């Protein structure tokens, strides 16, 4: 699976996690000190989510435990 497919899966997982948590783009953007446009670009897979942002995103969305950044399957790439 290519990088763009991986990015698309991660983007979709972020969007689903944010909506499931009931957090607006603006709220998540404020927690990360970025613009809502940045969140939108991450959710659409236009730009990469910095790995350093993942812990803050998870806290802002009330997620705990597990390795996957935004839920099970988000990081599945088919590679070993």
pLDDT along the chain (80 residues), means of 10: 76 94 97 98 95 92 70 42
Domain ranges of the chain: 3-60
Chain-centre distance for alpha carbon 65: 15
pTM higher than the cut 0.85? no
Q: 24: helix, coil or strand?
A: coil
Tell me, what's the pLDDT at 6? 84
CATH number of 3-60: 1.10.260.40
Do 49 and 57 form a contact (C-beta atoms < 8 A)?
Answer: yes
Tokens read off for 55: 């812990």
**What values do phi and psi take at 55, rounded to 5?**
-60, -40
Do 79 and 1 form a contact (C-beta atoms < 8 A)?
Answer: yes
The 10s digit of each residue's pLDDT in 51-74 is: 999 999 999 999 876 546 666 544
Residue found by looking up tokens 């812990």 in the block: 55
């Amino acid at each position: 699976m290519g990088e763009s497919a991986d990015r698309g899966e991660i983007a979709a997982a972020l969007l689903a996690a944010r909506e499931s948590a009931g957090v607006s783009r603006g709220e998540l953007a404020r927690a990360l000190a970025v613009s809502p446009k940045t969140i939108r670009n991450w959710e659409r897979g236009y730009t990469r989510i910095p790995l350093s942002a993942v812990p803050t995103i998870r806290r802002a969305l009330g997620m705990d435990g597990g390795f996957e950044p935004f839920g099970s399957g988000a990081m599945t790439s088919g590679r070993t």
